[in-house]
A and B are shown apart, each in its own frame.
Chain A
Amino acid sequence: MTVMTSSEISAIEERYPQVFRRPAYKRFGPLLLLLGTVFYLAYAMWFFSLPQVLRESHWERLPLFLSQWISYDLQPEFRLDQPEITPKYPRFSALGENPNPDWVIKDRDGRFTVLIDGPAKSVIFDKTEATIMANGLTVPVSLISGKPVISGPVPDWITAHDDEVVAKMGFVGEVRVTVDRVKVRKRFLGWANFVFDTRSPFFGKSAGEVMSLIWSGPELKPGTSNLALAGDNIWNNAQWQHGDVWTKLLQTIVMAFLGTLLGGIVAFPLAFFAARNITPSGVLSQVLKRFFDFMRSVDMLIWALFFTRAFGPGPLAGSAAIFFTEIGTLGKTYSEALENIDDKPREGVVSTGANGLLVQRYGVLPEVVPVFISQTLYQWESNTRGATIIGAVGAGGIGLKLWEAMRTNSNWANVFYMVLLTLLVVFIFDNISNFLRRRLSRTIHDYNRLQAEQG
């Protein structure tokens, strides 16, 4: 290994001054940027009073909410202070009227067994004693002294309050025992009554039974075929509101489609007058470009709020908001595409003595149409996402329904259902748009190749 002499080192230094002797702002730039960022973050923490917000937040709710997305629970209550113990289910429970689930077992001597997760996690009780079983332990709770009393050691999954014993069994549920009642919460994976709600005559029937009823059963509701009845029951399912959700979803799709398409139709002719190389007057070009900037900078939210006031809440307001924003966005991108065209085809058409319109049609359009369509598709795709958000301010579509379902904090399964549908729609439209754009870019590619070959 050779060792460099100091003269060699200084020679290298002299040869590459841009590496070794950089100006101060370049040397300290990154450091200053870092310091600035740190200062800004500290300021932002103070500005949003982050420590306080985090202290007051309820992170323990997160797993609960997330588990509610894909599960539902049943909460039977058993009164012990009545002559005979009877299970009571809350109104509108997922089991419908007169439930008789197989996980609530009544013995001949009036004793109840509730299987929360098979016999391993269960509770057996009568008026004098409740026995809670979970995690391999059996914990008897005596109820005769006017207070629930646990004999023996209390495991850590049981909390013994003065008048109530709470046994948490994880995801599957919990048991609450007082002297006069036993409350059970049993959690099931999945969505309850997703197809038929409890009021439907098809409720509780297996798929095969429903099929045979529709195919050859007697009319359940006189005057309507069973198929129509089943369709109506699904569409108007009170718990899931399939009909409403799907209509709102269609509204969101329509808003994005209509807004983008109309925006494109209006922006198309304007872009020709805004493009520097095509416009008949430079002033007009500047005016139009500032107009596009204006339409874009007045945010989609402002347009949405204005049109909601003008037309009332609904997809019309949303479409109009997207339409106005898109005039700006598409006008800008179209005119930029026009400014980047190759001038030779146009010169060729001009040299044949064609008039202005014909020059645009045969000299310019073939070159830009694929780019225009591609950009419009891209905007359509991104507006499909955006339409969900502006819907929440009243501009129609699934956004508002989603936001309301979330604000009530109770129906996270419904929220998840709508989220899944929205994701599906976004996914489908992404793929359609990507597929079309890929085909178009092949066209553009071929066109460029042909041009290159012809010189």
Chain B
Amino acid sequence: MTLSVTAPPGAPHQMADAWRRQTSLRRFYTVLGVALLLVAMFASMWFADEANAGHFFDRLPHILDFLSWLIPKDWNDVWRALFDIVSPHDTGNQEFNFPLGRVYVWGGFYIPEYFELMLTTVNVALVSTFIGLVFAVPFSFIAARNLTPHPLLRLVVKRFMELLRAFPEIVIAGLFAAIVSIGPVAAIIAIGLHSIGALGKLFYEINENIDMRAEEGLRAVGANWFERVRFAALPQVLPNFMSYTLLRIEINVRISTIMGAVGGGGIGEELKLSISRGFGAKTLALVLLLFTTIFIVDQFSAWLRRRLVGEQAFVMSA
């Protein structure tokens, strides 16, 4: 059977008109969208400025004043602050009492205070990522559509992880600060619980995309659920799991710094104090140390991820 189409006489004109109408409509929507966005942006700016303690244009000329306290009188004080070396400016006030923070380990050998604090922050991040990993792996196999032992269990675990993910870390930290006392342990619990949810979601999405033929083979020889997961699924997903865990470590170092600033111990607390009191040399030393650590963690994790899963980990899919 053949289908013959004869164009009516005015067709090219009609098509051109339709095309013009469509483009002008699209252009209208684009302009409208951008206009709305701009209105929202300026309204937000006005609102943020109104609600703020100091206003933008009042404070703008003083931005450089604010930077002036940051410039130390003696640049060597930055190094002295970093390594807890006695400063010639030390008159007993808190701004230059660098050696006071030394943590002695063995005889005269000490760890500088800020390195110890940085270590606390990094340890909080590592331990909480570990907690996240340990719980997220089994949860992710239960929550994956293709591997779940029972659909109802899957639903429960999925909802549970969603709840953990959505809960602001700061609330969990505040709750546990009242139970285990304020400090790094509360921060670990808070970040750890959040990591379970965050990693679990990423993990089960990986699990749902695995090649199921290996699993079918194991099912055919009568393997139980644990064996199927261990020998069919895990080898396929392990590199991706590790890659996401490394990414999580990067995020958790940042979060644990922030947690520190609200009482979770570690470098965040010291930084907040130092900035609020306007200690230039101490602040610069802390920022330098924090910046270097985050940079090293990021670069190391990127290098390791590249080795584990190749370039694929770096192309964000839309």
Contacts and interface: CB of A to CB of B under 8 A. Distances in A.
Interface of A: 37, 40-41, 44, 47-48, 50, 53-54, 56-59, 61-62, 65, 247, 250-251, 254-255, 257-258, 261-262, 293-294, 296-302, 305-306, 309-319, 333, 336-337, 340, 370-371, 374-375, 385, 388-390, 392-393, 396, 399, 402-403, 406-407, 409, 415, 419, 422-423, 426-427, 437, 440-441, 444
Nearest to A418: B171
Contacts of B287: 298, 302
Contacts of A371: 316, 318
19 contacts: A41-B130, A54-B180, A65-B178, A247-B51, A261-B41, A294-B291, A297-B294, A302-B271, A305-B272, A310-B59, A311-B53, A311-B55, A371-B316, A392-B262, A399-B170, A402-B171, A406-B174, A406-B175, A407-B177
Interface of B: 37, 40-41, 44-45, 47-49, 51-56, 59, 62-63, 66, 119-120, 123, 126-127, 130, 166-171, 174-175, 177-181, 183-185, 188, 254-255, 257-259, 261-262, 268, 271-272, 275-276, 278, 287, 290-291, 294-295, 298, 314-316, 318
A8 B54 CA distance: 83
A392 B62 CA distance: 25
Contacts of B123: 44, 47-48
Contacts of A423: 166-167
Given A305-B261, A312-B53, A336-B316, A392 B170 contact: yes
Contact of A374 (B179, B257, B258, B318): B318
Contacts of B278: 309
A314 B48 contact: yes
A48 B318 contact: no
Contacts of A48: 123, 127, 184-185, 188
A258 B180 CA distance: 37
Contact of A422 (B55, B130, B168): B168
Contacts of A299: 254, 257-258, 290, 294
Q: Binding site of A, secondary structure by majority: helix, strand, loop or mixed?
A: helix
A294 B287 CA distance: 12
A396 B170 contact: no
Nearest to B274: A305
B174 A407 contact: yes
Contact of A301 (B257, B276, B314): B257
A397 B169 CA distance: 15
A262 B42 CA distance: 11
Contacts of B174: 402-403, 406-407, 415
A336 B316 CA distance: 9
Contacts of A261: 37, 41
- Which 6 residue pairs are nearest across A and B when measured between Cβ atoms? A312-B53, A314-B52, A406-B174, A312-B54, A316-B52, A57-B180
Contacts of A444: 318
A374 B51 CA distance: 30
B193 to A, nearest CB: 13
Contact of A415 (B62, B171, B177): B171
